[in-house]
A = this chain, B = another copy of it.
Amino acid sequence: MARYGELRERVFEANLALVRAGLVVLTFGNVSGVDRDEGVLAIKPSGVAYDELGPESMVVVDLETGETVAGDGRPSSDTPTHRVLYRRFAEVGGIVHTHSAAATAWAQAGRELPCLGTTHADHFRGAVPVTRALTTDEIYGDYEERTGDVIVETFAERRLDPRETPAVLVVSHGPFAWGAGLDDAVENAIALETVAAIAIDTVALRADVAALDGALHQRHFSRKHGPGAYYGQPR
């Protein structure tokens, strides 16, 4: 059996789930999963068509050094961004990057995605933030690693908890979403695109719509998260 076979199998399946959910056009987008005991992540290879992928195409990369430790292909060019997020966001088990249409429109507009309703509050505490633009030096340096850094900086400056706000909009680029596991990461990416699309129509209907009332936001968020959660089945 291939090395890291189970991790690669799960990452492969998560990449397919992204396609089935309609979040991916061409080869835009990639999913990774982490094995913290082994200190590695597995990720989609760069620029390969989804119908040519199998579990064994997933590339396994060392979290610290970035070296490929299993797999024949070149890992996604966004791998350094994933590595930064895994190293700095300790609780993250899976990361999804897409150019999904509605979330990307907010990112391109340079607007954070405000929480306008309970669909959003069920998944994200408060607005999904948008990063600052990278400087020219950052762009011409280790661009993908700096993209990870600016995400971490955004969460630090706004005192956001990546477990509670498991997504970000990279300005002029697109969304990253994550979760404790791969399934959560994929679900959050789908939820993000869904609420981003509804929010576009909401602001078209009321340009000055206010963010959700704090009490309602807290109530909905805590239906799904934390000790008093009562959404879903007992585990």
Chain A residues close to B by CB (< 8 Å): 25-26, 28, 45-48, 73-74, 77, 99, 101-102, 104-111, 116-119, 122, 133-134, 136, 139-140, 143, 172-174, 187, 190-191, 194, 197-206, 209, 212-213, 215-216, 219, 223, 230-234
Contact = CB atoms under 8 A, between A and B. Distances in A.
Contacts of A99: 118-119, 194, 198
A133 B187 CA distance: 28
B140 A198 contact: no
Contact of A48 (B105, B116, B203, B233): B233
A109 B232 contact: no
Given A104-B119, A134-B216, 10 more contacts: A47-B231, A105-B204, A109-B202, A110-B209, A118-B172, A118-B174, A133-B216, A136-B215, A140-B219, A200-B201
A108 B101 contact: no
A113 to B, nearest CB: 10
Contact of A215 (B111, B140, B234): B140
Contacts of A212: 172
21 contacts: A26-B191, A45-B233, A77-B231, A101-B198, A101-B201, A104-B117, A104-B119, A104-B198, A105-B198, A105-B202, A106-B205, A107-B117, A109-B209, A117-B172, A117-B174, A118-B173, A119-B174, A136-B215, A140-B219, A172-B213, A200-B205
